Amino acid sequence: MSLRHAALGLLTFGPASGYDLLQTFHGSLANVWPATQSQLYGELGKLAEAGLVTVTEEGARRRKEYTLTADGLAELKHWLVDVEPSMPRRSDMLLRVFFLNVIDLAQAEEYLRGREAEAIEYHASLRATQEQIAPETMDLAVYGRIALEWGLRLTEMQREWAVWAQEELAKVKKA
């Protein structure tokens, strides 16, 4: 049920069309809550039906501009304050780790090297994003920076973990 809240949240920055919101979902929000066009248009329809947003302008090319209603804002605040966030559980990356004994040690090490490389790469891409946005907006986007920092720390953690895990495997190899 979070896509609806993501949409409501984006509309707090001002009225926007489905198409506008989609750019954000494919941009800054892609790392946190990706959404497809299909899904977003459907959700905006439901949101309008529920009275959490309203169509405030119909422009060229059938463009509909949605605006957050008081009910919508209330729902968003409720979600922010009262609904317990859930830790994301599913990770096919970790699931594979459980079954690495099925393949041989060399392949398992290769897998972990891959996770290390992946972490480094993703970390670098987040760092690049950070350097693009940081200078312009000093504390307007505090919360954006805080979210980004989570990603930087996650990827750094994964890199360190992958290195550590490779060392653990090296120990097993010796014994």
Partner DNA sequence: GTTTCCATGTAATCTGTTACATGATTCT
Partner DNA sequence: AGAATCATGTAACAGATTACATGGAAAC
* C-beta closer to a second copy: residue 48 or 163: 163
Query: By CB under 7 A, is residue 20 in contact with DNA?
Result: yes
DSSP 91: -
CB of 115 to DNA, least distance (A): 20
Under 8 Å between Cβ of 34 and 25 = yes
Name which of residues 79 to 118 contact DNA (CB under 7 A).
Answer: 90
* C-beta closer to a second copy: residue 61 or 99: 99
Find, among 162, 164, 166, the residue nearest to 121 by Cα.
Answer: 162
- 3-state SS class at 118: helix
Residue 54: enclosing H or E segment and its boundaries?
strand 53-58
Round to whole Å and give the CA distance between 147 and 1.
Answer: 20
Name which of residues 84 to 103 contact a second copy (CB under 8 A).
Answer: 85-103
Site string for a second copy, 34-73 (x = CB under 8 A): x--------------------------------------x
Query: By CB under 7 A, is residue 14 in contact with DNA?
Result: no
* C-beta closer to DNA: residue 61 or 171: 61
Query: By CB under 7 A, is residue 39 in contact with DNA?
Result: yes
Instruction: Give Cα separations from 54 to 36, 58, 64, 134 (angstroms).
Output: 21, 11, 10, 33
User: For residue 141, what are the contacts with CB-CB under 8 A and spacing of at least 6?
Assistant: 133
Query: By CB under 7 A, is residue 35 in contact with DNA?
Result: yes
CB of 51 to a second copy, least distance (A): 19
